Amino acid sequence: MAEIKVPDLGESISEGTLHKWLVKVGDTVGQGDLLAELETDKVNLEISAEESGVIESILRGEGENVAVGEVIAVIGSGAGASAQAPAPAAEAAQAAPATEATAAEKESAPAAAPAAAPAAPAPVPAPAADSGAYYASPAARKLAREKGIDLNGVSARDPIGRIQHDDVQANSARPAAAPAAAPAAPAKPAAPASGAAGDSAKPIERQRMSRRRQTIATRLVEAQQTAAMLTTFNEVDMTAILDIRKRRKDAFKEKHDVGLGFMSFFTKAVVGALKAYPLLNAEIDGQDILVKKFYDIGIAVAAKEGLVVPVVRDADRLSFAEIERSIAELATKARSNSLALSDLQGGSFTITNGGVFGSLLSTPILNAPQVGILGMHKIQLRPVAIDEERSENRPMMYIALSYDHRIVDGAEAVGFLVKVKEMLEDPETLLLEG
């Protein structure tokens, strides 16, 4: 007998929520088979069987909070199940010659045939999709289970053969004609009317917040309540960076097999500014200030389940190509829900880019316990005065720095942002200072 326990979830995470059971009592499982999905504050994890056997009991239900180390299910010895499996086969083998022995048994054979018919559908393809005969991300397996897709029939576009969420989505798009016949479901909107709060008869849909969304909400409120948060703004002329990307992007892509985006420039500029203004690379610990001598830069990514901030480690030691590659890999993992806890822990400063969604100006909220976060925004052509007599349309971007005024003074914050602006407008300095 083996107990299935909630695994260690990493630093600062002591519990999770059972999102979904993938097995039920009586199911036979093998070592490494997926048993349940666990939702934590930061990522979703999958719990696997450490031994083969039969699920004897499930102790906690879906939606319940479970602590690290808590027993949530019990697997019984699989010896009995495996020993019994060959027995029916042996009996069937003995029954075959017996049916040829007597005519009476031959007449009874047709009666046995219908009994064999229900046994044939037993190996349903859907469970086989979770058997692990493919290499797929957790998000891909989850979507396949929801849509009833056999992953063995899904082709992967990943060079190493890993099936991703988008591969399953593309596969499910083809039989989309069948679900079109299901518009019978629109009758459901009438139901919420009876359950509407108060005297209103208008439809309301109640949705439970995911654990991650609850955590995001809690931490954002805490950041505003515990930090003396202030935001300062500036704007950057992106002409030089756009010119470099235009001239170098093809050669860069050919050499490094990754695109030359804006994030590598901003990451380098942030590292250079942090070296000049180290208090923005710190955090408060009681009465002490912990000034970090490393540069692990968090990059905010909007995933389906909520905002996550994976971390680019030792960004000061990375080249432009290495930064771009790291960010691309982390963003892909974030959107396929395959980030590990180690990808999210220990950042020293954060960059967030609302410009990809069209934001022109915003005030980012601190990613506690960090004391600084840089917000990028949309690049927009605006008239800029060149001198007293001339003006030109230039590609301009507003940038915003939110900081904790408890340890960062206004002069330091403004100086930091000006430093970022200067290095972005003169990208050659990024090679020297970033």
Point out the residues that are catalytic: 405, 409
d(CA 143, CA 161): 18
Biggest distance spanned by C-alpha atoms of the chain: 112
The C-alpha atoms of residue 51 and residue 53 are separated, in whole angstroms, by 7
Helix, strand and coil content of the chain, in percent to the nearest 5, comes to 40, 25, 35
Q: How far apart are CA 86 and CA 295, in angstroms?
A: 60
Q: What is the DSSP string of 34-93?
A: EEEEEE-SS-EEEEE-SS-EEEEEE-S-TT-EEETT-EEEEEEESHHHHHHTHHHHHHHH
User: Which residue in 71, 19, 60, 23 sits closest to 41, CA to CA?
Assistant: 19
Q: Measuring CA to CA, how many Å separate 63 from each of 31, 38, 68, 209?
A: 25, 10, 16, 11
Give the Cα separation of 355 and 378 in Å (integer): 4
How far apart are the C-alpha atoms of 250 and 273, rounded to whole Å?
Answer: 29
Distance CA 217, CA 144 (A): 30
Q: Using an 8 Å Cβ cutoff, are 312 and 331 in contact?
A: no
Q: From CA 78, how far away is CA 30, in angstroms rounded?
A: 9
Query: What is the dihedral sign for C-alpha 31, 32, 37, 43?
Result: positive
Tokens 């010895």: give the residue.
77
